[in-house]
Structure formats: structure tokens, C-alpha cells
Chains A and B, each alone.
Chain A
Amino acid sequence: MLQWLPEDVSTFGQDIDSLFYLIYYITAVTFILVTVVMLVFLIKYRDQGGRRATYSHGNTTLEIIWTIIPATILIVLAFMSASTWARVKRFIPATDFEIGVTAKQFNWEISYPGPDGKIGTDDDVKFDNDVHVPVNKPIRLHITSRDVIHSFFIPNMRFKQDAVPGRQIGAWFQATKTGKYEMPCAELCGFGHSGMKGWLFVQTPEEYKKWADENLAPQPQ
């Protein structure tokens, strides 16, 4: 089933995917075990006449075992997840590459710093729906919305963050591979929700510099 995961091209995607795989194996084994036991019981203990059911109200030892085992597995999973979660969502690496993402019905408005080197100012350079970033560089995003809640989703980057009006939400990713990746909106945002998408262009530093020279205002050195 997991072969349908889109190719992972981010630095933290591997951590997310390995948790995905781990939970997949744990749940698959549990599912098969429980289903097989159930089927065996259903066949073995079907009423064929002449036999009386076992008169039993339970077994405390068994119940303690099947409480403690899943509890332990789940708590361990929670702690493993917590460290990856902190890496992805809580600690944004220091970087000098910042872009703004402002969602609106039904576009992503992408802003790059203008001549003042800061985003969120009047001289920002703005694009609709297209993001260009260099490969292997942490990208810091400032995500907000102008109207309703949207969700900035980059499947290949294992990235998703809601864009909420009235809030500036910080987020980051770092691409490991050049290419062109789709960026749909993942939160229902109105009749134009379907089809609200953009493209992320991950470029080599040289290609990116060429694009930036042509499209962005000169950066202060």
C-alpha cells in the first residue's frame, strides 16, 4: 500500500515516512493476527450441536496482558513521534531564505523580499501560485490567509500547514532534489477549493540565481 506514497524530497520526509512504515507494519500484523484468530474461532466454535459452550466469565491475567502490550506499544510510538514532530514543527532552522505565503480564495500569493531584504513590506515581489527555491537550503515560510482557512500542502515535501487569517504561522522545509512539485490547498475554502494549487520549482543554486536575477529585485549584499 505504501508504494503509492509520492517520492519524498525533503530533509524531514524520511523521518515521517519511517514512522508511517513502522505504524503500518505494527497495525498490519495486529490486523492479521486478530482477523486470523477471529476466523479460527468462528470455524472451530461454530455450533454443530451436541457441544455446550465453555462457561467462562473471562480471564484477568489475559486481560492485563492485552491491556499492557498495546499500551506500551502506543506510548513508545507517541515518544518516537514526539521527537520527529518537534524537529518538523517546533524548531525552525536558522536561514536567510524567507518567503511569504498568503492564501486567498483561490490562489497562493507568494512574496519574496524586495530591495529592503525583508518580507511583509511594501516592496515585496509577488507571484501567484509559483514558488522557486534552491535545493539543499532551509526555506522559512510565513504563512497566513486573507479570507478563510486554507492549507498549504506539498505532498512530495511531506509538508502541510493551515493558513489562518489573522495569524502569521512560521514553518520550514528543505528540499533535497530538484524538480517541479504540486502544491494543492488541503482545507475546504469555498467553491474554488478544488483546483486551487501552485507549483514548487526546486532548482540548482545556479538555476535559482538565474531565475532570481531575472525576476526578483536586486538583493542587498
Chain B
Amino acid sequence: MSDTVAVAEHAAHGQHEEPSFLRKYIFSLDHKMIGRQFLFMGLFMILIGGLLAMLVRWELAWPETAVPGLKFIPEPYMYDGVIPPQTYNALFTMHATIMIFFVVMPIMVGTFGNFLIPLMIGTGDMAFPKLNMLSFWIGAVATTVMLSSFFVPGGPAAGGWTSYAPLSARPQYTGVDLGQDLWIISLMILGVSSLMGSINYITTIVNMRAPGMTYFRMPLTVWSLFITAVLLLLALPVLTAALAMLLFDRVAGTSFFLPEGGGEPLLWQHMFWFFGHPEVYILVLPAMGVTSDILSTFSRKPIFGYHAMAFSMIAIAFLSWIVWGHHMFVSGMNPLLGTAFMMTTMVIAVPSAIKVFNWLGTLWGGTIRFTSPMLFALGFVSNFLIGGLSGIFMASTPVDIYIHDTYYIVAHFHYVVAGIIFALFAAVYYWFPKMFGRTMNEGMAKLHFVLTYIFFNGAFFPMHFLGVAGHMRRIYNPTQYEFLLPMQHWNVFITISALLLGASQFFFLFNFVWSLCAGKKAERNPWQANTLEWSAPSPPPHGNFEVQPVVYRGPYEYSSPEVKEDWLPQDRNLGPAAAARAH
């Protein structure tokens, strides 16, 4: 922005020497390159996680038949293309592990946290660039360890992503030895990577905001990443401790979770879910933040109830620490505790409801532009609505007795967690011009949205029906159960939808790679948005801003009466009179 006033000297970041190839692309200290590295790693892993899901779906629709094209996989992992039960258990375990820890976390937190935080708060880089680089490379080590577990004797972990003890605590219960150990070690390493990232995010946001960028002028994306970083910092050590105990039980002869040695299996569940429930919000909060920014931008309207949006995320973060027991209603935990956890769980639905209503309020009276990021953001709202509402069923303890560990749960968490993929795509389409300096093909992006939305719902909505019929999770062959036989056609329907959902992602992959190489050069502010990253060049150079931006107002001043056009960047100076009226 030419009319941006430079208050601070820009000298510190101005004169960088051209870094070597290794420093620029591999061991980069630039938050934007680290963000891109997380993106490429996450997109690579989503391919693997997605393919595993396709195999799971094949088995459920056409149990114990050969998967086309997989005859080459040797026994005992496959038998002439037929998936055996042991492999099936490994498939869904690794699908969930990869999607949660190696796709949604690296992309939503790693990519957008790294790329957006310094740009959106108006600073040159993260507080600790070296720690940032380490965070990525330690994450890459964790990824390598996790992937290597596919190739060890006995195959990868097969005890579910929840790895309930004692199943996961003694090799003879699953038949998986080294694979489970590598699973534990990989997640412990990943925990270190996430801790480094979260410390960096918190320090950067607290200390390095541009002049005028008060906490309540921060975009909700930054708020969401800030709260997520705090949750990560507090939750991950609990997982790491639990994983260490599990590893000791497996290799050092301890009995933390083994009753025969005086241990307690439910202790694992308490520790795992004490981490695991905040983890769900770690995954979904950045999606909520991104959605808020995109809805406001393309409604050309201020976000409805900015403070309520920020405080509801803070409320969710606090409440997320006291709801973990709702995963354990039928675990044998004292039923009185179940009642207490039901109360807290019902309460946490309230801030989630506020968010949905405020998103609706943002649309009200807007001039809505149906760009591809907007469509995906609306898709996220629609999925989150379904996932949020279905959560009320399992919050009710008596109803949960019946639907616990059924496909009702599978439907619920896919609408919430797999629904995040819509916010993920929205964010990629929205910030792609800033990240790579090129524009993605809008027509193909819209086609990608339509197909993804249809097949996503085709794949996940009928899972509610299966759940109502009592279809258990994690079973290998539904036709072994007489009471499920009448529902088998839904499994076929879901699988066909899932295969088409997978195939539709080709349009994203193609568009992404093609635009990366040959997309139209992007302007500085293609969406006419207000937040600071759009004041930097596309892509921003090392150091980000030509002059230190100064912030005069909140991030959502769209259609403000102060100016003729319908956007008003945070860093445009309209003089002291306007500043006095500013939000």
C-alpha cells in the first residue's frame, strides 16, 4: 500500500543477502518457506491417508474380496489382493493417525500458523526462526518414522489410533511388535515438533504485533492459532507422558496399564483423552478462525460479533479440559462421573452454537461473492453444523450407551474432523496467491467444491444410518452379523461415494500443481481483503513488508462508510478523526 505510513525503521529486515539453495529451500529460516514445507508434507500424507481409507471402504462394502490391482502385495499383508483382518486393523489405525497427526495438524497449524501469523500481525518473521526450522525437520523425522513402520515385520500399529491398553501394551495381543513401538516413538517425536511450534506462535503473537495491532484487532485466524498453540503446549506433554508409559510397558516390563502387574487399563484412557479432547479443538479451532475471515471477506461485511467469536473460542479452549470423560461413558468409569462429564459436554456445545449463529449473522445483509474459498468455507459451516448437532446424541449418556463405538460416532467425528478439509481447501484457495504469487484456476476450484461437497455427504451422512442400526466401528466384515445384513447396501453406497470423493481430489491436485508452475501471476490483494498479509507483495519477500505496517483498525471493516470502496485495509491511515471513530 503506497499510502501506508512507515513509523518503524525497516532497516532490520531490509538488506538480506541472497541465501544459498540449501538455506532457501531446505533448511530455511523463513516462516513462509517453512509454512510451504509443512503444506507439501501434509498434502503428500493426505494421499497416503486417503488411499488407506479407500482400502478400508473396499473391505466394508465387498468384504473379503480382492482389491483390484493389489495382488502384488505379499503375504501375510494381503492374500492375492484380499485384505486379512490383521491388515484391516492396521489400515484404519494408520488412516486415523496420519489424517490427524500428519495431515490436519501440519496443514492447519503448521502451514497456516507459520505462514499467516507473522504476516497477519505485521512482522518480519517468527520470534525464533531456528526453532521454527527445527520444528519442521523434527516433524519430518516423525513422519519418516511413522511411514517406516509400514515396512517392518508384523506391519504397522493395529490397535486403533486410540491405542487402548492392554491391547496396545503387549505385542501378543495384536501380533504387532516393532510397528507399535515405532508408532509410539513417532508420536513422541512429533510432540517435540509441535511444542516448538506452539512456543514460537505464542511468543510471536504476544511480542511482535505491529504498532496498533491490539489483541482485539487481530484477525480471528490469529486468535484461533493463538488459542490452539496454548492448547498444544498444555495437552501434548500429557500424551507424551502416556506414550512413554506405554512404551515402558511394552519394552521395559513395567505395568502402568497392565492389571496383571497391578496396573490400570483405564489410566491410559484418562490420559489419552485428557490430551485427546483438547486435540479435537486443536484441529478444529484454526478451521473456525479461517472460516470466519473468509466469510467476512466475501460477504463484504464485518464479522458478526467479533468479541463473541473470540471469547467463544477461549471458552471452548477452557471447557475442552473438562469433557474428556465423555469418551468413557461405558468404559467402567464410575457412572456418577459420567453424569458430571455429560453436563460439561452439554455446556461446550453452547460456544460452538454461538459460532454457527454468528457466521449466519455475518452472511445477513452482505453482498456475497461466491468464490471458491467462500464455497469451501460455507461447506465447512454446513458440515460443522451436522457434526455439532450429532454430538448432542452422544453427549447424552443413555443414548451413548447404544451409539458408543458404532458408526454414529464415526459419522460424527468425520463431519467435524474430516469436515476440516473444507476449511483447509478454503484456506489453500484463499491464500495460494499470497503463498506462491500465482492464481489457481477458479473454474476448476468450483468444480472441485461441488464434487467434494456431494461425495463427502454421500460418504459420511449414511454412516448415521448404520450407527442407528447398531453397526460397530472397526469391524472387518459386517456380513458376519445377522442384524447388520439388511444395512449392507449402505456400506456399498458409502464406499462408492468415498471412492468418488477420492477421485474428485484429482481436480485439486491438478489445479494445485499446474497453478504452481503456470498459474496467472497474482496481484497483491486479489480478494480486496483488509488484513495485513494483503499489504505485502505476492509472494512476500524475506522480511515480508516493504515498510513496517501500522494498524489503525480491526480486520473486518468491509463496506465501511469511511471510504468509497467496500474494503478498508487495517493499515490505511485515514487521519486522526477516523482513528477516533475506529473499531
Contact = CB atoms under 8 A, between A and B. Distances in A.
Interface stretch (B67-75, B367-375, B516-524): B367-375
Given A88-B401, A149-B167, A6 B470 contact: yes
User: Which of B266, B300, B401, B483 has the most chain A CB within a 10 Å cutoff?
Assistant: B401
Given A6-B469, A85-B338, A31 B167 contact: no
B405 A67 contact: no
Contacts of A128: none
Interface stretch (B188-196, B205-213, B303-311, B430-438): B303-311
B458 interface: no
Contacts of B358: 58, 63
A5 B370 CA distance: 40
Interface stretch (A35-43, A112-120, A208-216): A35-43
A50 B265 CA distance: 65
A194 B86 CA distance: 11
A24 B408 CA distance: 13
User: Which of B402, B481, B558 has the most chain A CB within a 10 Å cutoff?
Assistant: B402
A62 B560 CA distance: 22
B89 A191 contact: yes
A186 B264 contact: no
Ordered nearest first, which 5 A-B pairs have the shortest CB separation? A166-B259, A54-B365, A194-B476, A155-B470, A58-B305
Contact of A160 (B265, B402, B475, B476): B402
Given A31-B385, A147-B166, A23 B396 contact: yes
Contact of B366 (A15, A53, A169, A190): A53
Contact of B159 (A37, A185, A188): A188
Contacts, number: 282
Nearest to A82: B339
Interface of B: 84-86, 88-89, 158-160, 164, 166-167, 173-175, 259-260, 263-266, 299-306, 308, 330-332, 335-336, 338-339, 342-343, 346-347, 349-350, 353-354, 356-358, 360-361, 363-370, 378, 381-382, 385-386, 389-390, 392-393, 395-399, 401-402, 404-406, 464-465, 468-470, 472-477, 480-483, 487, 556, 558-561, 566, 583
Given A20-B399, A54-B559, A187 B174 contact: no
A2 B468 contact: yes
Interface stretch (A70-78, A95-103, A129-137): A70-78
Contacts of A20: 393, 399, 402
A138 interface: no
A149 B265 contact: yes
Interface of A: 1-2, 4-6, 15-16, 19-20, 23-24, 26-27, 30-31, 34-35, 37-38, 41-42, 45-48, 51-59, 62-63, 66-67, 70-71, 74-75, 77-78, 81-82, 84-86, 88-90, 105, 147-149, 151, 153, 155-156, 158-162, 164-167, 169, 182, 184-195, 197
Contacts of A182: 481-483
A23 B406 contact: no
A78 B343 contact: yes
A78 B559 contact: no
Contacts of B474: 188, 193-194
Given A166-B264, A188-B160, A81 B398 contact: yes
A41 B367 contact: no
23 contacts: A1-B468, A16-B401, A19-B399, A27-B390, A31-B386, A34-B385, A42-B363, A45-B299, A45-B365, A46-B367, A53-B301, A53-B365, A56-B304, A57-B302, A57-B305, A70-B353, A74-B392, A78-B342, A84-B397, A158-B401, A160-B402, A188-B473, A190-B174
A34 B480 contact: no
Given A46-B370, A149-B265, A31 B389 contact: yes
Nearest to B312: A67
B270 to A, nearest CB: 13
B336 A16 contact: no
Nearest to B268: A149
B360 A52 contact: no
Contact of B306 (A41, A53, A58, A81): A58
B265 A166 contact: yes
Contact of A81 (B260, B390, B397): B397
A100 to B, nearest CB: 15
B169 to A, nearest CB: 9
Contacts of A63: 305, 308, 354, 357-358
Contacts of B561: 55
A164 B265 contact: yes
Contacts of A105: 173
Nearest to B403: A20
A55 B338 contact: no
Contacts of A162: 330-332
Contacts of B89: 188, 190-191, 193
B312 to A, nearest CB: 9
Contacts of B347: 71, 74-75
A16 B330 contact: no
Contacts of A89: 335, 338, 397, 401
A6 B392 contact: no
A66 B405 CA distance: 32
A16 B394 CA distance: 12
A149 B166 contact: yes
A66 B308 CA distance: 12
Given A1-B468, A42-B368, A66-B353, 8 more contacts: A23-B393, A52-B559, A54-B559, A59-B361, A78-B395, A160-B404, A162-B330, A193-B89
A58 B338 contact: no
A182 B487 CA distance: 15
Given A74-B346, A81-B396, A34 B360 contact: yes
A161 to B, nearest CB: 6
A186 B583 contact: no
B405 A38 contact: no
User: Which of B304, B353, B360 has the most chain A CB within a 10 Å cutoff?
Assistant: B353
Contacts of A57: 302-306, 556, 583
B476 A193 contact: yes
Contacts of B370: 46
B404 A38 contact: no
A30 B398 contact: no
